[in-house]
């Protein structure tokens, strides 16, 4: 007979096993950290992949684990980018200091906007979140004396990383910087979703009414998840501005939020590596196809998504599940 204490211990053990690192994960991250120096001619796209992966990771926290659909996540990305760029240009060029400030500002914005996603239907949330992004983009356009308007914020110069490592022309330092930040945020997000708090988010995702019935404070949980995701998105935007030395209205564009949804469709929602895999696949395909046919690369990306949906993501992105699926079917047939 299971007692409440034994049940809680079992749940804790399950969470601990889910958050345990495997040897192949550590190997993959070690390889990722070495790529900017081993493949320094491709450091720029590696840097871009790391930034997009962090951006997708932030959306997965609210979409994959909480079930909140957002098409305005670029608002926090853009806020982080402009905050880091303005801070570097007018106050302090230190990258880590600017990254921290951008995260704080985006987190505060996320906390304010979290009120808008606690009520209404999914369609209402889509419109509200998208509206926030459009408002911020228009503000950045009108406040040209501060943001540069349609010309963007130029002349952003970053100081050396940790006071020692200059941002080189190849982008190796920038790519390593972005990958390290991505890894740190991945570790924190992993602890977040595999904690008791993360379990309540999954319960809300599965059935909000049932979660309310068992006493989970749904509104406050959603607000916290949305705020955390906003801070992570702001860090991604800050990395973009710091590593490129430029911030423009493009960071608020709708296509950035839409691309995130595509990344999670490719990699899978509710799985932290889904955003990372989606970013790698999407950016590599985009770079490879656009170099062959710049006019029609979106057609081939669309065709890939159609094939992905027809064949199944599990068989394309996670080929090791082929054997698990076949073995499970055999077991079901034997039963």
Ranges of each domain in the chain:
23-279, 293-335
* Nearest residue to 232 (alpha-carbon basis) of 65, 89, 14, 5: 65
Q: What is the pLDDT of residue 329?
A: 39
| pLDDT higher at 255 or 314 | 255
Distance of CA 306 to the CA centre of its chain: 23
Q: Which long-range contacts link 5-14 to residues 24+ away (Cβ below 8 Å)?
A: 11/196, 11/199
| pLDDT higher at 123 or 286 | 286
Cα distances (Å, whole numbers) of residue 185 to 46, 110, 147, 259: 17, 17, 28, 20
Q: pLDDT, tens digit, for every residue of 77-95?
A: 989 999 998 998 888 888 8
| pLDDT higher at 142 or 316 | 142
Cα distances (Å, whole numbers) of residue 64 to 61, 201, 206: 6, 10, 10
String of b and e for 1-38 (b: at least 16 CB within 10 Å)? eeeeeeeeeeeeeebeeeeeeeeeeeeebeebeebbee
Residue 236 has pLDDT above 90, yes or no: yes
Count the Cβ atoms, other than its own, within 10 Å of residue 181.
Answer: 21
Q: Which fold has domain 23-279?
A: ABC transporter involved in vitamin B12 uptake, BtuC (1.10.3470)
Residue 330 has pLDDT above 60, yes or no: no
Q: What is the pLDDT of residue 179?
A: 92
pTM of the model as a whole: 0.83
């Amino acid at each position: 007979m299971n007692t409440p204490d034994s049940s809680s211990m079992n749940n804790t053990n399950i969470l601990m096993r889910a958050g345990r690192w495997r040897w192949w994960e550590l190997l993959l991250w070690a390889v990722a950290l070495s790529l900017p120096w081993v493949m320094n001619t491709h450091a720029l796209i590696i840097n871009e992949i790391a930034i997009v992966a962090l951006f997708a990771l932030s959306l997965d926290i609210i979409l994959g684990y909480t079930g909140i659909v957002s098409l305005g996540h670029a608002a926090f990305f853009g806020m982080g980018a402009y905050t880091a760029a303005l801070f570097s240009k007018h106050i302090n060029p230190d990258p880590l200091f600017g990254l921290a400030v951008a995260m704080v500002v985006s987190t505060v914005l996320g906390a304010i906007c979290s009120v808008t996603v606690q009520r209404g239907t999914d369609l209402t949330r889509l419109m509200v979140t998208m509206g926030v992004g459009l408002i911020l983009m228009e503000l950045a356009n009108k406040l040209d004396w501060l943001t540069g308007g349609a010309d963007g914020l130029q002349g952003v110069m970053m100081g050396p990383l940790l006071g020692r490592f200059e941002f080189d022309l190849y982008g190796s330092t920038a790519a390593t910087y972005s990958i390290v930040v991505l890894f740190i945020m991945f570790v924190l997000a992993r602890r977040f979703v595999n904690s008791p708090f993360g379990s309540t988010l999954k319960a809300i995702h599965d059935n909000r009414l049932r979660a309310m019935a068992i006493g989970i404070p749904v509104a406050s949980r959603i607000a916290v998840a949305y705020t955390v995701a906003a801070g992570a998105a702001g860090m991604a935007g800050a990395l973009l501005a710091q590593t490129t030395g430029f911030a423009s209205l493009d960071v608020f564009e709708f296509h950035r939020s839409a691309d995130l949804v595509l990344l999670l469709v490719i990699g899978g929602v509710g799985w932290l590596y889904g955003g990372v895999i989606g970013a790698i696949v999407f950016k590599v395909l985009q770079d490879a196809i656009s170099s062959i046919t710049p006019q029609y690369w979106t057609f081939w990306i669309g065709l890939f998504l159609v094939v992905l949906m027809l064949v199944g993501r599990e068989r394309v992105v996670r080929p090791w599940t082929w054997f698990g699926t076949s073995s499970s079917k055999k077991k079901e047939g034997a039963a």
